[in-house]
């Protein structure tokens, strides 16, 4: 039976020294917060790295003391689950630029004594993967049994496979794409504009002025949230249900979907940093491994040695199955070890968070074969 | 010899093989373990896909009826399509695709000309239900059954050359009868074909 990992605690580590970034800038003594579940075996061959997506963090599974809500991938990580913590040592860091403990825009810049805010450099998926490799060194993990993630997390797993081919045995790339489409970037731009134009954004210096662009971040999240759900899921969950019995001919939240989105936006905007959100959308927009190879994904994949599993979901329209197939087809052409699963699921892009039976079976078969 | 042994006989060790409709990966497993083949499967059934993954085999979740355009011309030494062509919507197109993707291809078909099938139809006047075709006409995946003659005619119509052929009896073995009068006495026919 699937069970919870139970109570968990976050840990911290410092990547000492200068860390060069793809943008040309550098950061010093980067602090990363992370969680681990399960136990590392004697020869350190059972470690799985979990990469989080846009709004995720290091709290992937289990619960904190005095908190009811489990980590974001608790449905898949735990004893007897798809990522079985009885067998694997699971590590999930909060990436650089995050806002839940790792060095990010809401950290103090020790050179100036102020918050980084808008001065925090633009990070890339490659920077993240490089920092995760340094974390691996500190944890004594020479080679990951697997690196995996959904959405932006899947992009990191993919990047690992060609950047450090000797350091990973498997990669699971879930609900991802080889690069963002114009439509994807368009949604990100709407989110950014919502934040940037909030009067309380203060050019990104809101923390210095004790303000917060809550409204902008809320709007950004509402737009994003729509793209995570499928039309089908929204219809079956909310339909045209009204909060009250009849229309009241006004602009308050009348339909259930309106109040749901507002609620989601409110909760999110209270627990996430606006500058981090801006940064995350940029990291997504910039990801394009083929761009260094004259647009040829096949060339970008030449160095891969790992066994790869690509997973997509039938109702995902943010990164639709066709986008995952672009990765798969390039891997086939590059003659790499790849398997592909297209899971029937009603939950849209968010499907990767749910313990769908076929998905769980496929993942655990892949991780344990 | 049984079908897998014949396949091994027909292909070089270490060949790159694409198995279209690979099922639970039985053939791929044998070829990769015993013949040093690099194998990739295409399958639509989720349980079969998971079995392949469990065995460490590479498998792509894909509906052959929706096209095979993602596989380049002559990108595999061998393309295998075993007991699959009869369930496809467009067998002719599939046959052309198979020979486009593989330098050589191995196609296995159930023979509708087998004598018990013929007698079954002749005497009962109903669509035959046999060991090889166990389901009713309305409840079968086999929507494009053919005889050995039909298949060979389709090959020549498509300009496809038959390089080798082998016929099996109902026990999956080669036999004298199946060799002498295959369209009557073979339940299964296997062809090695190419453009």
Q: Cβ-count burial of A45 within 10 angstroms (0-12 exposed, 13-18 middle, 19+ buried)? A: middle
Give the mean pLDDT of B41-48. 97
Residue-level pLDDT at B170: 86
Lowest mean pLDDT among A133-147, B113-127, B147-161: B113-127
Residue A198 neighbours by CB distance under 10 Å? 21
Residue B5 neighbours by CB distance under 10 Å? 13
Residue-level pLDDT at A159: 98
Report yes or no on A2 lying in a domain.
no
E strands, B21-153, where?
38-43, 58-61, 76-82, 102-110
Tell me the residue range of the domain where A362 lies. Answer: 11-178+289-368
Report yes or no on A4 lying in a domain.
no
Give the mean pLDDT of B68-80. 97
Shared domain for A196 and A139, answered yes or no, is: no
Q: Does A209 touch chain B (CB under 8 A)?
A: no
Residue-level pLDDT at A2: 52
Q: Does A16 touch chain B (CB under 8 A)?
A: no
Q: Is position A349 annotated as part of the catalytic site?
A: yes
Shortest Cα distance, chain B CAs vs residue A189, angstroms: 32
**Catalytic-role residue among A151, A161, A269, A312:** A151
Q: What pTM was computed for the model?
A: 0.96
Phi, psi for B83 (deg, rounded to 5): 50, 40
Report yes or no on A120 lying in a domain.
yes
Contact B87, B143 (CB under 8 A): yes
Q: Is position A100 annotated as part of the catalytic site?
A: no
Select from A281, A311, A329 the last residue of a domain.
A281
Give the mean pLDDT of B57-83. 97
- Pick A340's closest partner by Cβ from B56, B57, B61: B61
- Pick A369's closest partner by Cβ from B46, B56, B72: B56
Shared domain for A152 and A296, answered yes or no, is: yes
> Is the CB of A333 less than 8 angstroms away from the CB of B50?
no
Shared domain for A119 and A204, answered yes or no, is: no
**Catalytic-role residue among A74, A273, A316, A350:** A316
Residue-level pLDDT at A27: 97
E strands, A100-156, where?
144-150
Q: Residues of A with CB below 8 A from B77's CB? A: none
Query: Using alpha carbons only, what angle is made at residue A294 by residues A290 and A296, rounded to the nearest 5 degrees?
Result: 50
**What residues contact residue A120 under an 8 Å CB cut-off, 6+ apart?**
A97, A104, A105, A275, A279
> Quick one: tokens of B14?
């270490």
Displacement of CA A74 from its chain's centroid (Å): 14
Shared domain for A258 and A308, answered yes or no, is: no
E strands, chain A, where?
11-20, 26-37, 47-51, 77-78, 83-84, 89-93, 144-150, 168-174, 307-313, 338-343
Among positive and negative, which fits the CA dihedral B169, B174, B179, B182?
positive
Topology (CATH level 3) of domain B3-194: Rossmann fold (3.40.50)
CATH number at residue A156: 3.40.50.1820
Phi, psi for A208 (deg, rounded to 5): -65, -30
Shared domain for A120 and A27, answered yes or no, is: yes
Shared domain for A149 and A20, answered yes or no, is: yes
Shared domain for A49 and A159, answered yes or no, is: yes
Contact A14, A31 (CB under 8 A): yes
Q: Cβ-count burial of A351 within 10 angstroms (0-12 exposed, 13-18 middle, 19+ buried)? A: buried
Shared domain for A251 and A308, answered yes or no, is: no
Shared domain for A302 and A326, answered yes or no, is: yes
Residues 66-85 of A with CB under 8 A from B: none
Give the mean pLDDT of B43-62. 97
> Is the CB of A325 less than 8 angstroms away from the CB of B59?
no
Q: Is the ipTM of this complex over 0.95?
A: no
Shared domain for A245 and A108, answered yes or no, is: no
Shared domain for A152 and A193, answered yes or no, is: no
Select from A259, A281, A303 the last residue of a domain.
A281
Contact A345, A313 (CB under 8 A): yes
* Bridge partner list, B42: B20, B60
Q: What SS3 class is residue A12?
A: strand
Closest CA to A290 of A282, A299, A278: A299
pLDDT in tens, chain A (369 residues): 457 899 999 999 999 999 999 999 999 999 999 999 999 999 999 999 999 999 999 999 999 999 999 999 999 999 999 999 999 999 999 999 999 999 999 999 988 999 999 999 999 999 999 999 999 999 999 999 999 999 999 999 999 999 999 999 999 999 999 999 999 999 999 999 999 999 999 999 999 999 999 999 999 999 999 999 999 999 999 999 998 888 989 888 899 999 999 999 999 999 999 999 999 999 999 999 999 999 999 999 999 999 999 999 999 999 999 999 999 999 999 999 999 999 999 999 999 999 999 999 999 999 998
Query: Using alpha carbons only, what angle is made at residue A346 by residues A54 and A179, rounded to the nearest 5 degrees?
Result: 35
Domain count, chain A: 2
Shared domain for A132 and A23, answered yes or no, is: yes
CATH number at residue A223: 1.10.1740.110
Average pLDDT, chain B: 94
């Amino acid at each position: 039976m699937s069970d919870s990992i139970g109570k968990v605690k976050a840990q911290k580590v410092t990547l000492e020294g200068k860390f060069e970034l793809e943008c040309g800038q550098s950061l010093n003594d980067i602090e990363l917060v992370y969680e681990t579940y399960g136990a590392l075996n004697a020869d350190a061959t059972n470690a799985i790295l979990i990469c989080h997506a846009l709004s995720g963090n290091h709290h992937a599974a289990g619960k904190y003391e005095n908190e009811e809500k489990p980590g974001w991938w608790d449905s898949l990580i735990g004893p007897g689950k798809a990522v079985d913590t009885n067998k694997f040592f699971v590590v999930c860091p909060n990436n650089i630029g995050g806002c839940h403990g790792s060095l990010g825009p809401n950290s103090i810049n020790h050179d100036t004594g102020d918050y980084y805010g808008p001065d925090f450099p633009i990070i890339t998926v490659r920077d993240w993967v490089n920092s995760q490799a340094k974390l691996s060194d500190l944890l004594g993990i020479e080679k990951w049994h697997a690196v995996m993630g959904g959405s932006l997390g899947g992009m990191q797993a993919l990047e690992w496979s060609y950047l450090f081919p000797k350091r990973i045995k498997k990669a699971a790339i879930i609900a991802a794409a080889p690069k963002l489409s114009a439509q994807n970037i368009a949604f990100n731009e709407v989110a950014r504009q919502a934040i940037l134009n909030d009067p309380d954004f203060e050019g990104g210096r809101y923390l210095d002025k004790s303000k917060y662009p809550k409204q902008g971040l809320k709007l950004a999240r509402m737009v994003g949230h729509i793209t995570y759900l499928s039309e089908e899921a929204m219809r079956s969950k909310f339909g045209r249900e009204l909060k009250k019995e009849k229309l009241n001919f006004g602009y308050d939240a009348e339909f259930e979907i309106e109040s749901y989105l507002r609620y989601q936006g409110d909760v999110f905007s209270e627990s996430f940093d606006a500058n981090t959100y801006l940064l995350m959308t940029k990291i997504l927009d910039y990801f394009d491994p083929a761009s260094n190879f004259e647009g040829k994904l096949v060339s970008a994949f030449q160095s891969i040695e790992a066994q790869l599993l690509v997973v997509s979901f039938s109702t995902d329209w943010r990164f639709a199955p066709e986008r995952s197939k672009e990765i798969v087809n390039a891997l086939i052409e590059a003659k790499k070890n790849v398997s592909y699963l297209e899971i029937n699921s009603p939950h849209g892009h968010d499907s990767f968070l749910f313990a769908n039976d076929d998905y769980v079976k496929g993942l655990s078969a892949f991780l344990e074969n | 010899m049984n079908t897998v042994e014949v396949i091994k006989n027909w292909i070089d060790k270490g060949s790159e093989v694409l198995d279209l409709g690979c099922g639970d990966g039985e053939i791929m497993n044998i070829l990769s373990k015993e013949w040093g083949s690099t194998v990739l499967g295409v399958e639509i059934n989720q349980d079969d896909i998971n079995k392949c993954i469990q065995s460490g085999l590479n498998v792509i979740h894909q509906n052959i009826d929706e096209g095979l355009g993602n596989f380049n011309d002559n990108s595999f030494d061998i393309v295998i399509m075993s007991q699959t062509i009869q369930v496809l919507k467009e067998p002719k197109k599939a046959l052309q695709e198979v020979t486009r993707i593989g330098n050589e291809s191995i196609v296995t078909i159930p023979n509708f000309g087998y004598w018990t099938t013929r007698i079954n139809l002749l005497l009962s006047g109903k669509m035959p239900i046999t060991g090889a075709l166990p389901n009713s006409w309305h409840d079968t995946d086999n929507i494009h059954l053919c005889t050995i003659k039909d298949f060979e005619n389709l090959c020549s119509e498509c300009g496809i050359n038959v390089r080798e052929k082998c016929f099996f009896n109902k026990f999956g073995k080669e036999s004298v009868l199946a060799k002498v009068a295959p369209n009557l006495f073979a339940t299964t026919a296997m062809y090695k074909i190419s453009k």
